[in-house]
Structure 1
Amino acid sequence: MLEKTTYKNGQITHEIEDGRLTYYLKSGLIKATGPYINDLFEGQWTFNRMDGSLWQIGQFRNNLKHGLWTRYHKDGTIEKEMLFENGIELKK
């Protein structure tokens, strides 16, 4: 079970609300967010850069990367797509 903690500046590091876990940067911007069920990462997660721009989106199943993961350039175009099965990247 995750406990609520804060950075030295008082900003919370993460919180769980309605089955959704959100990690924050010291600035307060969202670092990552997605479903958190029975202490496991599940479903679609979104990860952002330090400036808050989208970095990647991917799926988890039982805490493991599973399915399509897409990484983005800062301009929003696709940088790379990866396919995972139970935490292992499948080669294209």
Structure 2
Amino acid sequence: MDEEKIIQKEKDAGIPVVGILKRKSRKPAMAAKKKNGDQTGNKASAKGQPDEADHYRNGQAKFQDRDGIRTIYFMDGNIKARGPFDGKNLQGEWQFFKNTTRLWQIGHYKDGLKDGKWMRFTDEGVIEKTQNFKDDEILKD
């Protein structure tokens, strides 16, 4: 039902109409963009918009791949995890951090699956838990 019909219906029902509110378009305004990116030069999708899969809403990159190492970030820019990446799977030793930048876990991946020894640390850096994995399954001691 369009706005004029709604207003008329309210008038017919005896409801006083104080003012008419016009809805703003729900489409976002297009900002000036650099070629294949936004004003800050962030990576852009084929449509010229920042790729939401690679960035948080605040513009912070979710991850970065450099020289075979993938670094994953929290929304505030602190490092969440870091380790070898072959372009498809996590490989080798990975380190995971709490958002306080403290080391939380160290573990190994083989073809994207947990494989080998995994250690979890307390905030004081003491080993809290150790587990062994094979093909993403916990091995019983």
Pick closer, same or farther for the CA change 1:36–1:79 going to 2, 3 Å.
same
Q: Over the residues paired in the alignment, what is the CA RMSD in angstroms?
A: 1.3
Aligned to 2:116: 67
- Output the CA distance in 1 between the equivalents of 2:90 and 2:54: 19
Could you tell me the percent identity over the aligned residues?
Answer: 38
- Output the CA distance in 2 between the equivalents of 1:55 and 1:38: 24
- Output the CA distance in 2 between the equivalents of 1:6 and 1:64: 25
Higher relative contact order (CA 8 A, sep 6+): 1
* Rg larger in structure: 2
Shift of 1:80: 0.2
Aligned to 1:23: 72
- Output the CA distance in 2 between the equivalents of 1:40 and 1:9: 27
Structure 2 portions without partners, runs of 5+: 1-50
The two structures have a TM-score, normalised by structure 2, of 0.61
- Output the CA distance in 2 between the equivalents of 1:17 and 1:38: 10
- Output the CA distance in 1 between the equivalents of 2:56 and 2:89: 23
Shift of 1:38: 3.9
- The one-letter code of the counterpart of 2:57 is K
Aligned to 2:130: 81
Matched, 1:53 2:102: yes
Aligned length: 90
User: Stretches of 4+ moved more than 2 A in 1?
Assistant: none
The two structures have a TM-score, normalised by structure 1, of 0.92
